[in-house]
Amino acid sequence: MEITVDPELYCPIINDEGFYIDMCPSFILHGIRCPCGTRTDHIFNSKLKFKQHINSVKHNKWLAILNLEKNNYYKENIKLKDTIKEQREIIAKMEIENTRLININKFLDEKIFKNNQQIITTDLLDLNNIN
């Protein structure tokens, strides 16, 4: 069994004025992925390569769009929290129903196998009288 460590997901920080700005992490242990979409699923393993990436035109364009639409992220966050809450309730109901069905299944299995077991009895005293 191997232990794998996923790379970190880069997230720009918010400055005092409330705008997203890039801040390169001090060190990169297991790689870092940028969600800007310019290099899908690319993992940056060094600080130098990541600095070059955050200075690229496409990454800066993504950051500008992020600053223009930050209110939408707040709304999306609220919707996602509601969805998670609803899904947790659904999962809890399904677990209860699953437990109920497991118990019914156990009961029926016991009832079926109990009725199908045939008890064979032999009179051991009669064994001596067999020729």
What are the pLDDT tens digits along the chain (131 aa)?
677 788 899 999 989 988 999 998 888 888 999 998 887 788 999 889 999 999 999 999 999 998 988 777 788 899 999 999 999 999 999 999 999 999 999 999 888 877 666 556 666 666 666 55
Could you tell me where the DSSP H helices lie in 1-69? 47-54, 57-68
Residue-level pLDDT at 57: 93
Query: pTM for the full model?
Result: 0.58
Q: Which residue shows structure tokens 């309730």?
A: 89
Residue-level pLDDT at 74: 80
